């Protein structure tokens, strides 16, 4: 139906021309166009922000209808943003100082962690689910705003191979990864 999973599945509730909210019941072909959407959640939460839906154009012109359809999609997307920002994110309890925040430095875009700029090759620690353990990683980034930074993990090798071979596992860091600066120098 919407965004996320029970018990917090978000959806865009519809306001009908008679003023009542449908409460997320499925719509059928004979239903009237909604006047507005607002973000709601299966737990009972409702956003206070009502977003009016532009009325369906009378014109049968293809481009006009397409534009209206996209506008309506845009209103729907705003509800998802409301649900996320007003309800879901706050509930998750992510701490901004433990997230990579994209900002600007004199040299261009840069990630910051806990207020400190993160440079290419920086050693950081990534929180794992199991027993709250932190995994040492090395940070790299392409400096392209639409690309996530990459985490590199150095794998162990036999004593005889040290300095002769390097094994690395790399993966993109998701936006919600929890990170910190190393607490001790290795
Ligand atoms: Zn909820």
119 has a pLDDT exceeding 90 = yes
Choose the final residue of a domain: 69, 92, 115.
92
Banded model confidence at residue 124, pLDDT cuts 50, 70, 90 = very high
186 has a pLDDT exceeding 80 = no
Gap from CA of 46 to ligand 1 centroid (Å): 9
Q: Looking at the domain assignment, is residue 2 inside a domain?
A: no
* Ligand 1 ion: nearby residues, β-carbon < 5 Å: 8, 41, 43, 45
Q: Looking at the domain assignment, is residue 5 inside a domain?
A: no
Gap from CA of 157 to ligand 1 centroid (Å): 47
Banded model confidence at residue 71, pLDDT cuts 50, 70, 90 = very high
Do 25 and 87 sit in the same domain of this protein?
yes
Name the pTM for this structure. 0.66
Place of tokens 């072909």: 29
Q: Looking at the domain assignment, is residue 88 inside a domain?
A: yes
Q: Retrieve residue 83's tokens.
A: 């649900």
Gap from CA of 14 to ligand 1 centroid (Å): 17
Q: Would you state the pLDDT for residue 104?
A: 87
Q: Looking at the domain assignment, is residue 185 inside a domain?
A: no
Q: Which residues, in sequence order, are CB contacts of 17 under 8 Å at separation 6+? A: 32, 33, 35
Q: What is the residue-wise DSSP string for 146-186?
A: TS--EEEEEEP--GGGTTT--EEEEEEPPTT--EE--SS--
Gap from CA of 9 to ligand 1 centroid (Å): 6
Q: Looking at the domain assignment, is residue 67 inside a domain?
A: yes
- Mean pLDDT across the chain, nearest whole number? 92
Do 117 and 149 sit in the same domain of this protein?
yes
Residue 120 sits in which domain range?
96-180
Q: What is the residue-wise DSSP string for 57-101?
A: PS---HHHHHHHHHHHHHHHHHHHHHIIIIIIHHHHT--GGGS-E
Do 111 and 61 sit in the same domain of this protein?
no
Q: Would you state the pLDDT for residue 70?
A: 95
184 has a pLDDT exceeding 70 = no
Gap from CA of 37 to ligand 1 centroid (Å): 17
Do 107 and 166 sit in the same domain of this protein?
yes
């Amino acid at each position: 139906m919407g965004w996320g999973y029970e018990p917090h599945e978000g959806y865009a509730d519809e306001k009908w021309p008679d003023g009542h909210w449908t409460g997320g019941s499925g719509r059928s072909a004979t239903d009237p166009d909604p006047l507005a959407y607002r973000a709601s959640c299966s737990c009972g939460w409702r956003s206070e922000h009502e977003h009016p839906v532009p009325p369906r154009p009378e014109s049968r012109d293809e481009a006009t209808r397409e534009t209206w359809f996209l506008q309506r999609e845009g209103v729907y997307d705003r509800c998802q943003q409301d649900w996320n920002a007003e309800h879901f994110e706050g509930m998750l309890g992510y701490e901004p100082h433990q997230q990579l925040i994209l900002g600007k430095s004199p040299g261009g875009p840069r990630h910051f962690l806990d207020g400190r700029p993160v440079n290419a090759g920086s050693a950081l620690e990534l929180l794992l689910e199991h027993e709250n353990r932190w995994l040492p990683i090395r940070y790299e980034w392409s400096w392209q705003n639409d690309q996530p930074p990459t985490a590199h993990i150095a794998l162990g090798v036999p004593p005889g191979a040290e300095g002769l071979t390097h094994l690395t596992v790399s993966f993109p860091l998701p936006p919600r990864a929890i990170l910190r600066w190393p607490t001790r120098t290795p």
